[in-house]
Amino acid sequence: MAARFWALVLAARLLVAVAAAAAAAALLRLSIVATVAAGATVWCLISLTAVAASFAAARAGAHSTRTRPGAMRLVRIVCAETLALDMTLWRMAAEPLLARLDRFVGSGSQPPARVVLVHGLACNRAVWGPLRAALRLAGIEGVYAVNLEPLFADIDRYARDLLAGLEALGASPARPVAIVAHSMGGLVARAALREARTGTISRIITIGTPHLGTVVACRFPWLNTRQMCCGSRWLLELNAQQEARLALAVTSLYSHDDNLIVPASGAALCGARSIGFPDLGHLSLLYSPRILRTIVAELGA
């Protein structure tokens, strides 16, 4: 479902870029090369504008004592996040094709599950391409990624589906798995932990997860965004049950400059090992070599 949704978004964006380029060509009598360049510029500006707006909103809504990045540093962060957004959109739209390719390449016997990857809101498992490559290079096998559907469902429903997926993969106290989760996926993992058999999940690593909520989520009407809103009853109940009382290792990786987790400190969970990184947007966390190295080290520990 997410793949179809993002394919439609990319198609709509292409239509806008083509229409703008055609209008510019008619008004300015542009050459074919200049028309194509105009279309490409519009294409890039759509993502850049969206990302810049998200950072502007994050800076306006953040109440932090940390020094905010200067203008040039902020430009670098915004440009990197724009590139991460475009790469992620293409990956998610192509997820069915990538899944078929994975099945073809790995057509032999599959190793037992060791690591399960859980994506965030409105995403799919294609976002894990960089981490899966890093884990392969590190010799970590048995890595599986799930798809959470439908797009805007209750987080508790996702948690039940995740538990069913873990059972299908053979996870048990005798063969526990580690969970690595991005954004909302970290809350899904924590919600699943409430119902999981003791010892089935060996550890949880969250990346940019709004453990304490994010004011950005309050702007959207979907059930799971309301659950992620700062001060939501669902989040307060989850934290009351788990904060500083976790029976397994939890590592929280987050960015001090996240454009979607506002305030950024909301991604640090009480009782977890929290590690903050500068200069990374929300999706850039999935591509950062610093983050990837940290996850590999955590899983190998």
How many Å apart are CA 189 and CA 201, to the nearest integer?
9
How many Å apart are CA 30 and CA 5, to the nearest integer?
33
More confident residue, 25 or 128: 128
- Token pair for 150: 């439908």
Residue partners of 181: CB distance under 8 A and separation at least 6: 117, 118, 119, 120, 188, 189, 204, 205, 206, 207, 209
User: Are the C-beta atoms of 21 and 35 separated by less than 8 Å?
Assistant: yes
- Residue 119 DSSP one-character state: -
How many Å apart are CA 98 and CA 295, to the nearest integer?
23
Strands (DSSP E) contained in the chain are 115-118, 143-145, 177-182, 201-207, 249-255, 273-277
How many Å apart are CA 216 and CA 229, to the nearest integer?
7
Residue 245 — pLDDT band, cuts 50, 70, 90?
confident
Q: What is the mean pLDDT of residues 281-287?
A: 98
Say what the pLDDT of residue 246 is: 86
Residue 64 — pLDDT band, cuts 50, 70, 90?
low
Say what the pLDDT of residue 57 is: 87
The Cβ-side half-sphere exposure at 148, using a 13 Å CA radius, reads 32
CATH T-level assignment (fold) for domain 95-300: Rossmann fold (3.40.50)
C-alpha 172: how far from its chain's center?
A: 26
- Token pair for 138: 């590190």
Say what the pLDDT of residue 65 is: 46
C-alpha 68: how far from its chain's center?
A: 23
- Token pair for 163: 């538990």
Q: Which residues of 161-200 are buried (b: 16+ CB within 10 A; e: fewer)?
A: bbbebbeebebeeeebbbbbbbbbbbbbbbbbbeebeeeb
Query: Is 185's pLDDT higher than 80?
Result: yes
Q: What is the mean pLDDT of residues 21-49?
A: 91
Helix (H, G, I), strand (E, B) or coil at 174: coil
Residue 106 — pLDDT band, cuts 50, 70, 90?
low
Amino acid found at 108: G
Query: Is 101's pLDDT higher than 80?
Result: no
Say what the pLDDT of residue 103 is: 63
Q: What is the mean pLDDT of residues 264-286?
A: 94
Residue 233 — pLDDT band, cuts 50, 70, 90?
very high
